[in-house]
Structure 1
Amino acid sequence: MNPKNIELTKELIKKTYVDQASQAIAQFNSLVTQILSQRRLPEKGWDDKTIEWFLAQLAMMDSNNFIENAGVGEREGRLYSDIVSRRHFGFAHGIGRSGDINEQQPKAAGSSLIQKLTTYFVLDAMSIAGIEKVDHCLVLPMATGMSIALSLMTLKNNFCPPTAKYVLWPRIDQKSCLKSIATSGLIPVVIDNVLQGDVITTNLALLEETIVKLGPESIVCVMSTTSCFAPRIPDKIIEISQMCKRFNIGHVINNAYGLQCTKITHQISQSCRLGRVDAIIQSTDKNFMVPVGGAIVASPNEKLIDTLAKNYPGRASGAPILDMFITLLSMGKQGYKALLDERKSLIPYFTHELDKVAKEFGYRLLHTPGNTISFGVTLQKAHSDTDPEPSASSSVSPSQSVSMIGSKLFMRSCSGARVIDLKGGKKTVAGIEFEAYGSHIDHYHSNYLTVACAIGITKDDVDTFIKRLKKVLIQ
């Protein structure tokens, strides 16, 4: 209610009651004032009722919710289903305009305000996570792979010489990474990794050799990766950024779920400070616990973000941005910090329990200290000369037994575990053939299982998984 209507209520009910109620309304309004003026996450997360109240106020600012609106255009935000309307809190116009995804929509002041506030919230969250020197971002209604593709096309068409066509790609066996290069119409050049003990890591010497061989003028960028499945560790992005600066070529960082790791965010900040970083792309669902469908493109280069926004064709869905807006309001700074801290505190416990169960069955935990999100356990025992030969009448080969571990875990409601069988054969992705696809290298020393200690995980998740893993390994 506005002040005039509050005064009018005093003619109907007792003034003392109205004064008390108006104080409560003022408290709601003060929360809104704080985020509009400070443009940061609230210190303490809002409760659901407050968020819904605020969304209702914002939805009233969109033309499809005007009481006396008469829409005569081809796109008026009409919603046939009440279920759909409730699901989207009455927001129907999306974000942006045909020429710029960041441009404000005349029919949707409320949606435009949500988009702008979400951008500020995300930058604040990234700062809390540990990324500095990055003051510009765009929340896109596309998942990570397509957002990388749009970033590559923007870099190629606006910031590179006409002869540039290659993307140098330290091998990461995740399909969308490679397909994003192909989708953007560029040519991927695979930089094979090196093996150091258990660790699979960046071959910096081969990367530099390839830059010299192809010529910097023919290279759009190096696309490095920070979040990856063990035993691969994050690329050496600081050294890569310095190399890109020296050769004056682009550098795009695939940081899909790296915001939750302070070690990674520190390296990104150092890369921006010491070398060249054009774009950092991260998933909204993997880092902020929202439905799949959004990604954050961040950059220390404001011009790149502005150009990328103008390159997005047409309007865009506002749903992934609305999901982020609601979730970040709900988390607040305290809630987000608590989630980051909880994940970090569970790492020693998770790895200890994994190591214990691995040893119990004659396996071992892979030593990959550079990766503090994903962890691997060998699935290959060391046999002595006295070990009996496998039975010829066995209906399941050792290779099949390894590959079945993942499916048996999934059947026991354990999702996310990955089993790598090195005898899985060749696989072709985006026209490139790989040996032992999934292991990030042609010749690893053993089959293995990977799991992740990711944001939102709980001790109960760890304990339940360990119990079920033991049952599967016993079989």
Structure 2
Amino acid sequence: MDAANCDLACVLVGRTYIQQGAQALAARRRRVKALLSQRRLPEQGWDDATIEMLLQDAALMDSNNFPDNVGVGEREARVASALVARRHWGLAHGIGRSGDIAAEQPKAAGSSLLAKLTHLLAADALEVAGMKEVGAALVVPLATGMAITSALLALRGMRPPSARYVLWPRIDQKTCLKSIQASGFEPLVVPMRLEGDQLVTDLEAIQREVDRLGAEAIACVITTTSCFAPRAADDVVAVAKLCQQAGIAHIINNAYGVQSAALCAQVTSAWRKGRVDAVIQSTDKNFMVPVGGAVLAARRGATELVDRVARLYPGRAAVAPLLDLLITLLHWGASGWRAVLAQREALYAYAQQRLQQFAEQHGERVLATPGNPISLALSLRSFEAPAAGQQATAGGQQQQQQQPAAEAQQQPAAEQQQREAKQQQQAQVPITFLGSMLFNRCISGTRVVARGKRQEVGGLAFSGYGAHCDAYPCDYLTVAAALGTNEQDIDEFLRRLGQCFAEFRQRQHKQHAAAAAGAGGSSG
């Protein structure tokens, strides 16, 4: 209903009432006009009706929704199911063209418009979060791992043919490693350095690899900001300076770092003071949308790699992940987005305090990881097995005291140590079972990390896998104070964790008693 139609409607319904309705329609159109002219987040979030109006108008601009369109090509946005069509708002043509995901699609002016708006609002959302001087933000319908792979493939045109290695400070998460290998590069894992409780970037080790291989042999360094404690965010500023000096590309895996003001500030400092070719972040982890999207960002004046990713993308792309992000950002607006970020920052402080209280009650401690502003780690030392040669229970100690001294002296020392080691092994419930107990109680997201795990990923063997280093001093579990979590979630998690602690200890005591009884019977 435009102004002319409203005038005609006054013949059918009283002019006063029609004018009132026309003013409401005009108010919604003004929001759309402001969005198109300012090309940034509206200060106040939109209501659903206004968002739906934008989407419906855009969908009607795509050729498959023209009232007189006749499509005779092989791809004409034909959708068999009306349910599927409604799910996608009739936006079925996709975005981009065969040579550029950011290019306009001639058959889909509406979809192209929505995609351009999504890129612009994503850039503004990064600015609001604290990532300053954003020059490009490309939203792609790929999750973080495939987005990293795309960036590495695009990087080939910027590095010499001899560049075959990617330096990668170790993080025990499979995605990035597989992204490197999928792009045809060879990963060189750089160990982290333990400082106190936390694992930090070993800059000297990175420099040694650069000196050993030469800059011409290195495609890039991939650093990581958001990660599981006790690993800290990489020192992206120092690495950016190193890469700039050496002439090596630098990609930052900022998977869920947008939600942290501290990490956004570090990214900003890195690309101001050194070289950063692209920063890659997940849409679902940072903006609470379904899995399937990522944002590739770069600083103003340094967007070559992000531009290359857009031109590298083969064929058209699905608009759905971009649509999810656009709807969410319009729903929040700038003020709503700031509020969500502030709530997450407050949640981290709350989770740290409550976890500290829990640790004190159970003889554990929160690991000191000031370099990680999202993830927290709780030690699990109280569940560790007793030292060899010591009985785990009072019953076992009593039985040992009652054993005749002469018999103990006659027994060969080696045989006794073997029996004690076997008894200890039988008595110990694997600490990873605690994770299973939590999962069975509908606690998801936490990770229980046991020392000494060996695992092969992409043909590379890792010791102590899960802990980001070969030999972390203790077992632990992690908790993320992530976007969308609230204080009630933290409280309920700790309540159920307390129940699991109690049940786990009971299982341990039963195992110890059974093992001690078995050992006593066999020795008798």
Paired with 1:347 and 1:13, the residues of 2 have a C-alpha distance of: 56
SS at match of 1:259: coil
SS of structure 2 residue aligned to 1:52: helix
Structure-2 change in CA distance of 1:388 and 1:53 (3 Å): same
Letter in 1 for 2:502: I
**Deviation of 1:235 (Å):** 0.4
Q: Contact 1:399 / 1:423 at 8 angstroms: preserved in 2?
A: no
- Structure 2: gaps spanning 5 or more residues: 397-421, 504-524
Matched-pair contact (CA < 8 Å) for 1:133–1:272: no
Distance in 2, Cα, partners of 1:397 & 1:22: 77
**Count of residues paired in the alignment:** 472
Query: What does residue range 68-217 of structure 1 map to in structure 2 within 5 Å?
Result: 68-156=68-156, 158-217=157-216
Give the corresponding residue for 1:446: 474
Cα distance in 1, alignment partners of residues 353 and 386 from structure 2: 27
Gapped regions of structure 1 (runs ≥ 5): none
Counterpart-to-counterpart distance in 1, 2:79 and 2:392? 67
Q: Deviations over 1:83-139 (max 9, x none)?
A: 111111111011100010000001111100010000110011000110012211210
Q: Which residue of 2 aligns with 1:404?
A: 433
The separation in 2 between residues aligned to 1:84 and 1:72, in whole angstroms, is 22
In 1, Cα distance between equivalents of 2:437 and 2:188: 37
Contact 2:385-2:424 within 8 A present in 1 as well: no
Matched, 1:472 2:500: yes
1:255 matched residue in structure 2 = 254
For the Cα contact (< 8 Å) 1:399–1:421, is it kept in 2?
Answer: no
Query: For residue 358 of structure 1, what is the aligned residue in structure 2?
Result: 359
CA contact (8 A) 1:100 1:310 kept: yes
Instruction: Tell me how far apart the structure 2 counterparts of residues 383 and 357 of structure 1 sit (CA, whole Å).
Output: 22
CA 197–398 in structure 1, closer or farther in 2 if over 3 Å, else same: farther
Match of 2:443 among 414, 418, 427: 414
Q: Distance in 1 between matches of 2:347 and 2:184?
A: 42
The TM-score, its normalising length taken from structure 1, stands at: 0.97
Alpha carbons 1:278, 1:304 under 8 Å: kept: yes
* Residue of structure 1 in register with 2:330 after alignment: 329
Q: CA deviation at 1:350?
A: 0.7
Question: Which residue of the partner structure matches residue 235 of structure 1?
Answer: 234
Cα distance in 1, alignment partners of residues 67 and 424 from structure 2? 73
In structure 1, what residue type is equivalent to 2:66? F
Q: Is the 8 A contact 1:44 1:335 kept in 2?
A: yes
Q: Any idea what the Cα deviations from partners look like across 1:203-237, whole Å, max 9, x if unmatched?
A: 11110000000000110000000001000000011
Counterpart Cα distance in 1 of 2:426 and 2:477: 19
Q: Percent identity?
A: 47
Out of 461, 465, 477, the residue aligned to residue 433 of structure 1 is 461
Instruction: Tell me the distance in 1 between the aligned counterparts of 2:285 and 2:34.
Output: 28
1:45-104: per-residue Cα shift (whole Å, max 9, x none)? 111122112211111001111111111111011111111111111110111000100000
Write the letter of the residue equivalent to 2:484. G
Q: TM-score by structure 2 length?
A: 0.88
Flag as ranges the 4+ runs of structure 1 deviating above 4 A.
Answer: 382-388, 390-397
Q: Distance in 1 between matches of 2:363 and 2:287?
A: 37
Which digits, 9 at most, give the CA deviation of each residue in 1:315-342, with x for residues without a partner?
0111100110111111111111111101
State the 1:294 CA deviation: 0.4
What root-mean-square deviation, in Å, do the aligned CA atoms of Structure 1 and Structure 2 show?
A: 1.7
